[in-house]
Structure 1
């Protein structure tokens, strides 16, 4: 039995051809604008998230005597 392993693909590797095509059809400045705007937008959206509550560890209760 042969196990096939998938190669990891990043978002940057998927977006690079699209950004290249956009730069070819418009200008480099227009193509690089999403690289400035999207991280800033993501940072603003993530500011509203809260840290997850720490997990509570339950202590085993001993039977009453």
Structure 2
């Protein structure tokens, strides 16, 4: 079981995936408005507690700050 997410300043996409070999299946997915949560832990907890899965692996991409337009 994999928990994957794309955490951005505007929105966050999270999903649980099951995998068998090289085949991946989306089991649950959700999009959240990032500004509605004070901390990433709060956002992740809401998604995880809404589903009865336990992740063996976690992969998150997190946006960095924009400095001087880059």
TM range (shorter): under 0.3
Q: Which is higher, the Rg of structure 1 or of structure 2?
A: 1
